[in-house]
Chain A
Amino acid sequence: MIKGMISRQNKIMKNKLKYLFRDMKDKKIGYLFAAPFTLLFLTFTVLPVFVSIFFSFTYYNVLETPVFIGLTNYIKLFLEDDIFIIALKNTILFASITGPISYIACLLFAWLINELRPTIRAVVTTLLYIPSISGSAYLIWLIFFSSDRYGYLNSILLTLGLANEPIAWLKNPAYIMMVIIVVSLWLSLGTSFLAFIAGLQNIDTSLYEAGSIDGIKNKWFQLWYITLPVMRPQLMFGAVLSITASFAVSDICVQLAGFPSVNYAAHTVVTHLMDYGSIRFEMGYASAIATFLFFIMIGVNKLVKILLRRVGE
């Protein structure tokens, strides 16, 4: 009887596989089209994640063969590493300020710009989008926030009599994070901003007409009940981008505050990872950090998904 069940199950399984193969054969063009991306995605995204998870359980000094050491890296990460706590604090602080603000700013700007005439819209869009495509252009902020007396901001403050001596914006832990947040907000009108504009333009105007018949009185109602729910896919896309961007922040910190920054004031999870990976050659530990960051991001993504579901309710 049991044997019969097993054999039946096997049969079903075999059938399923057969069906799958037949199905694949039928739609081979589709699979063929998907293959290049799938392959690249597997090799360069999925595989590294698993490799990194594997290394996180080893001692691996990059140049010699890894040694399996169990959970030691994670124990050290959560219980011993003070600097990791600083890095985590900085990252969360950074993410929770720039993430939402940049997200909302993107949305607002997109919404405002959408009201403009097409030619002006194109110009304004380009202007706002320029900072994020111009590579390391944010380095000009180094002059603005230079610690020298002749740095722009210091010079202004000194002439106005608001400061008595030059402030070391990028060498004093009290200011570093603030500066980095300001600069990254300047940079933040990026891809999600474009996605929002595209989303806004795809909205069927008849919906607004229907809405006004149904009693929507002002623009805010329109935004909340029609515009946002319709562009939920773009909202999700933007959210994912801004979460990954703000949790993986590192370049700006390194370029502006140096690496490592004074008293780790601009140390984020990713720079901490770089510190262990490339300076101390402790790749196993660095992988543990990466794995941890990976799961944080997944968690936050899930959270945002839940929040976005409530838009327009």
Chain B
Amino acid sequence: MLEATREAWYGRWLSPEAPLYVIAIFICAVIVALTLVVFWATFVEGLPSIDAAYTLQNYQDALLAPSTWSASFNSLAIGAGTVLVNFFFAIPIAWFVQRTSLSCKEWYITLMLVAGVIPGFLKAIAWIFLLSPHNGLINQWVRQFVDVERGPFSIYNIAGIAFVQGLMLTPLMFFMVGVAFQKIDNQFEEVGEVSGANAARVFRRITAPLVIPAIAAAAIYNFMTAIAIFEIPALLGFPGQIYALSTRIYQAVNTDLGLPQYGIAGIYGLIMLIPSLVMLHFYQKMLRQSHKYSVISGKNYKAKLIDIGRWAWFGHAFVWLFFSLSFVLPLIVLVWSSLVPYIALPTAKSFALVNLNAYKVAIDVFTGEPFLNTLKLVLVVSVAVTVFSTILSWVVQRTKLPGRYAMDTIAMLPHSIPNLAFAFALGFIALLFARVLPLYGSLAIIMIAHVVAYISLGTRMVNGALIQIHLDLENAALVCGASPPRVIQKIVLPLLLPSLAYTAIWVALLSYRETTMAIFLQRPDNVVLSSKIWELWMGTKTSEASAAGVIMVATLMVLFFVMLKVGNRLGMKGPNLA
């Protein structure tokens, strides 16, 4: 009867899925085209151009070099280590905040968002201050008791890189897993308790399996993010002579050996694709079983908080341990380095140099064209990603149209290949059509680059929300005579709205902070804040860059807190991802 009802509607109306399908195909075509350009460039001799000569030399140089495989191994190790750190912090904190009676939830969610704002390179520098083998503060203290010339600890190794990146990416996993915890109907757990299972067994056999899609999605996404990050392996890897694929890509593009080697950079990017595709395969298998994990259905649904009583102190301590390592410490370093003319440990000599001069330059950075460009960028990118991700996820989750799982895989491609490679591909296509399409050097090209880059995050967030909404709700409405558009408007969208709002916020944050693509595609007309701050940093104006970072964090903290307050009044909770 249900199928007949659906067919009746689709017969009477133009199928609402048709235009969505066309848009989804278009988005995927753009992503595939860019990927093909990256692949094409790997066969080009010298700088890519239409009349370039072709060669296999790039493959020979890249694949036969032992350094490529050691960098690949390093990247895998860094990715795995990052995810382990994420598991350690994000899952317990998400459980405490979303499933228990722990207080101060709004503050913790705000701080989680803000922890994501501080640029990664500043977090790395904070840890250099603490654990540099020569003059790190912790090492200096330990050397009072242990007779060694250097160390004994060092941040300049793979574990150090994974630790700092893990702290950096924990907020993302927190949000990915958090709402999955939040939306669990505690009736499932009550059934377990009534049957005689203790709390640990209930968590292991009932609660944890229900959030597995969200955990798996988060782990896959963060692993792929971790192996593509450049600035932390550069800062912490170079002193330890550790190179990852991301640093090799940067070296290939910014080489001093002749002209940039885009072909070799592309090959490194394709190497990164391999583990990502393997994990995507397992993820897709889980997605096909998604109906097992829906927790919002037509039946009465309630998420009751678990009273943790005296264990609240442990919850607060664990959350603040994370914030201290991830946010408080880097913020102290950020503020400190904004007040002194160069990065130095706090000593009597450096305290005497404290001044506010850097803020005069930083305030200039936040006025004028770069600021306006950034506002336009984050608004357009966040809305575009949210809309396109919703369309793609709808086609994948709610239709039986052919190729929908392939579309989901394609949506993840931008996350599997480093941003720099996509930026180069987009720049090249824009140059090719520069005489007919004014894209090259414009703000629009950075917007497109960001939309392509963040489609993968957007689709994970919306997928996760759709997975948790059972089809019963929509089917019941259809059977009662509601049209498909009305079903979407009255039932689906209100349930999706919190996730869509958080998707938009998170994408806006990432777009605001993104530097690699903005720098690569920068021309006089499309300068944005992140690239201005990076220029200050690379131009040895560390105090000015830090001052700009302080202003960025302060304004975002206020903004996020206001948005959360408004969101709570409107009944919005948080995102879910898969």
Q: Do A and B bind each other?
A: no
